[in-house]
């Protein structure tokens, strides 16, 4: 069965510092990988996705994630965070079927 | 714009009462999902439906019921058998492809 592990439950970081949110998955088949962001009292919004092709994918607000098949990882990075990036981030994996498996989430807290 | 609408945003339940959460989508997705979110516990799948008039139990279906009479609608009933219903409930829709699920803005259910 597929599983997703987000290695950090909380990540505090100062504004303008770089950040990495770690995600590892386990699967024996080809997978599609996603990062979602959730602001308080809102639903999940898709941040970026890896479907195929280039292993480095980027979002419009400066986040990027790299698919590493050998390490079964899909870590999320941003070189300089803003206060507005404070949110919960979920890594997710899908194998093309109906179900999506979500990690437990990482709460990013950006301090001034 | 296409999307998922959940209503109400906030809901209060009295002891022994059943309540129904609404979820409507206009994305023409075949599949719909209900998740429960508790602080620090990520997303847990309650029920999902791959097609009209069919649905399957997820990981925590006890105390909940659903129906799928129309492609666009997937209401969730929280019954009195659910002893700890206070949580944030998220509805999602998707397809059996490599594309990600889309989420509504959630309903927060509390006990009076």
Give the residue carrying structure tokens 């698919």: A67
What phi and psi values does residue B25 have, to the nearest 5 degrees? -130, 145
Inter-chain residue contact A46 with B31, CB threshold 8 Å: no
Q: How far off is chain B from A92, nearest CA to CA, in Å?
A: 9
Q: What is the pLDDT of residues B69-106, one digit of tens each?
A: 999 999 999 999 888 999 999 999 999 888 999 999 99
Task: Kindly give the confidence (pLDDT) of every residue in chain A, 112 residues in length, as a single tens digit, with 9 standing for 90 and above.
Answer: 789 999 999 999 999 999 999 999 997 678 899 999 999 989 999 999 999 889 999 998 999 999 999 999 999 999 999 999 999 999 999 987 888 999 999 999 999 9
Residues of A in contact with B48 (CB under 8 A): 98-99
Q: How far apart are the C-alpha atoms of B32 and B20, rounded to whole Å?
A: 16
Among B43, B98, B102, the residue with its CB nearest the CB of A96 is: B98
Residues of A in contact with B4 (CB under 8 A): 43
Among B40, B42, B100, the residue with its CB nearest the CB of A34 is: B100
Q: How far off is chain A from B106, nearest CA to CA, in Å?
A: 6
- Cis peptide, bond prior to residue B52, ω within 30 of zero: no
Q: How far off is chain A from B9, nearest CA to CA, in Å?
A: 9
Instruction: Give the CA angle between residues B69, B61, A30 to the nearest 5°.
Output: 85
Residue B98 confidence (pLDDT): 87
Strands B107-111 and B10-13: parallel
CB B89 within 8 A of CB B36: yes
Among A41, A51, A104, the residue with its CB nearest the CB of B108 is: A41
Q: How far apart are the C-alpha atoms of B7 and B23, rounded to whole Å?
A: 7
Q: What is the pLDDT of residues B41-59, one digit of tens each?
A: 889 999 999 999 999 999 9
Among B6, B43, B104, the residue with its CB nearest the CB of A102 is: B43
Which residue, among A64, A79, A72, A58, has the nearest Cα to A30 in the 3D structure? A72
**Number of A–B residue contacts, CB under 8 Å:** 54
Please list the residues that pair with B107 across neighbouring strands.
B89
């Amino acid at each position: 069965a597929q599983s997703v592990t987000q290695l950090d439950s909380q990540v505090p970081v100062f504004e303008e510092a770089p950040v990495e949110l770690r995600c590892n998955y386990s699967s024996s088949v080809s997978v599609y990988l996603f990062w979602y962001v959730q602001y308080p009292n809102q639903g999940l919004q898709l941040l970026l996705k890896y479907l195929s092709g280039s292993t480095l994918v980027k979002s419009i607000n400066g986040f990027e994630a790299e698919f590493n098949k050998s390490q079964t990882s899909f870590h999320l990075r941003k070189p300089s965070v803003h206060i507005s990036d404070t949110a919960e981030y979920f890594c997710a994996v899908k194998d093309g079927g109906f179900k999506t498996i979500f990690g437990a989430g990482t709460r990013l807290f950006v301090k001034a | 714009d296409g999307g998922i609408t959940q209503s109400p945003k906030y809901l209060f339940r009295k002891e022994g009462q059943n309540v129904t959460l609404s979820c409507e989508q206009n994305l023409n997705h075949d599949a719909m999902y209900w998740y429960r979110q508790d602080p620090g516990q990520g997303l847990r799948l309650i029920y999902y439906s791959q097609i009209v008039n069919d649905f399957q139990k997820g990981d925590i279906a006890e105390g909940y019921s659903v129906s799928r009479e129309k492609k666009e609608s997937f209401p969730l009933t929280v019954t009195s058998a659910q002893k700890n219903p206070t949580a944030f409930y998220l509805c999602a829709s998707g397809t059996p492809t490599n594309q990600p699920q889309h989420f509504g803005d959630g309903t927060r259910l509390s006990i009076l």
